[in-house]
Amino acid sequence: MLRKSSAKGTAELRRQNRDAILQALWSNGPLSRTDLSDITGLSPASITNIVDQLLGEHLLLESGEVKSHVGRKPILLDLNRQNIMSIAIDVTAPNEATVALINLHYEPLRTVEIEIEEYQISSLLEKIMVAVHGFMRDAHKHCVVGVGITVPEDLDISKAKMLFSTSLSSERIEFAEALRYQYRIPVRMERKVNGMALAELDTGVCKELNSFLYLNLAKTVDASLVLQRKVVLQGFTGDIGHIEVASQGVACRCGRRGCLDTLVGGWAIMHRVLADKLLELADKADPLLLLSTHVSVDDVVQQARCGDELAQHICEDAVSALRKALDAVLALLQVEGVVLGSDAYRLWPRALSELLQGKSLRKPVEVLSGGLASSALLGAAGFAFRTWIGEK
């Protein structure tokens, strides 16, 4: 009989070996058993035992035979991407969230939009838990391997608590801990911009890039860094919206003037349009840029394309500011590309990327427009899958 410490060490070793096989198939699959042994360094016997277990759990499938091979052709193995699922949660505001069941092909199979009247994060989390429970109940024929959560930079739900009841008692515990306790699966919570970058890496415009800087051009400007095809989670804060790009510019919420946020961030642009409207459009009977309290950055882009001078001036200022900020950041980073995306606006990233093409940066990099819908949700799924295979 193994002692507890010995049994624990054996279980940990098995988990590490299992993770090594899953990671090899994630990065290089489909592979034969011999390939897996060569890549992981595990013995053929260990490979056989673990693969048989994963096949029995419907996490792997046999996807064919090696074509060019003398003698008995090895069977290829791959992850069962149709059957492996994660639950992705994208919290967009204290009263709004989207929950989806997503397979390893990054196909959302079911989606629930949640919106409550009160701005009470604990009430929102309770609604999310109900949606997760429904997905887990209905997904019994599939393998739900984890939960991924993305949250905005200005919303911290890591310490938010919700009422959690068991057969013995009720108490308020942290949301992620409640999910782990209830379903015994990994739970990963990350910044929204990191999820958006990961989605572009896995399924978007960056599938062929090893490194890039991702900018989320939403109400403010946030960034994520990808190096060696991994999102950098430590040592890079991503708060580049406060890089000074205009010494005598508009006051920023940080207390300084001329920050990138004041020229590229959505809040600042809408504020500027409404202010300029009173000064520059007051005498026009039928102004092209007729804006109300519902003005959006996409409205500005549309009007710029229609020839409106104010809108064009705003876009030109944004491109100039973005170029200065990127020159400053890229002087410190070695990346292959820059991706402009947004979780709030559809036209803004593409418009800026097109304008930037004619404004060469000091360091030559490819500037791309992220075009994925629901990128934060797909990124949440991606983080859940990576946690499941043991990737940090």
Print pLDDT tens along the chain (392 aa).
Answer: 344 455 567 888 989 999 999 999 999 989 999 999 999 999 999 999 999 999 999 999 998 766 665 656 788 999 999 999 999 999 998 899 999 999 999 999 999 999 998 888 888 998 999 999 999 988 766 789 999 999 988 887 766 666 555 554 556 678 888 899 888 999 999 999 999 999 999 999 999 999 999 999 998 999 999 999 999 998 787 788 899 888 777 788 888 888 999 999 988 888 877 776 655 545 554 444 444 445 689 988 998 999 988 889 989 999 999 999 999 999 999 999 999 999 889 999 999 998 887 667 888 888 999 978 899 999 999 999 999 999 87
pLDDT reported for residue 170: 55
pLDDT reported for residue 120: 82
| Nearest residue to 388 via CA among 123, 96, 57, 38 | 57
pLDDT reported for residue 2: 41
pLDDT reported for residue 68: 60
The CATH architecture of the domain made up of 205-371 is: 2-Layer Sandwich (3.30)
Phi, psi of 140 (to 5 degrees): -65, -25
pLDDT reported for residue 234: 84
Residue with the two structure tokens 């819908």: 373
pLDDT reported for residue 32: 93
pLDDT reported for residue 70: 60
The CATH architecture of the domain made up of 4-79 is: Orthogonal Bundle (1.10)
CATH number of 84-191+378-388: 3.30.420.40
pLDDT reported for residue 49: 95
| Residues in contact with 224: Cβ distance below 8 Å, sequence separation at least 6, in sequence order | 191, 193, 194, 196, 197, 213, 214, 216, 231, 232, 236, 238
Kindly report the number of other CB atoms within 10 A of residue 117's CB atom: 7
Buried b (16+ CB within 10 A) or exposed e, 68-82: eeeeeeeebbebbee
Where, residue-wise, is CATH 1.10.10.10 in the chain?
A: 4-79
In contact, 51 and 31? CB cutoff 8 Å: no
DSSP string spanning 48-92? HHHHHHHHHTTSEEEEEE-SS-SSSPPEEEEE-TTTEEEEEEEEE
Where, residue-wise, is CATH 3.30.420.40 in the chain?
A: 84-191+378-388, 205-371
In contact, 59 and 65? CB cutoff 8 Å: no
pLDDT reported for residue 318: 92
| Residues in contact with 95: Cβ distance below 8 Å, sequence separation at least 6, in sequence order | 115, 116, 117, 118, 119, 120, 124
Distance CA 241, CA 253 (A): 11
pLDDT reported for residue 4: 46
pTM above 0.95, yes or no: no
| Residues in contact with 197: Cβ distance below 8 Å, sequence separation at least 6, in sequence order | 206, 212, 214, 224, 225, 226, 231, 339, 379
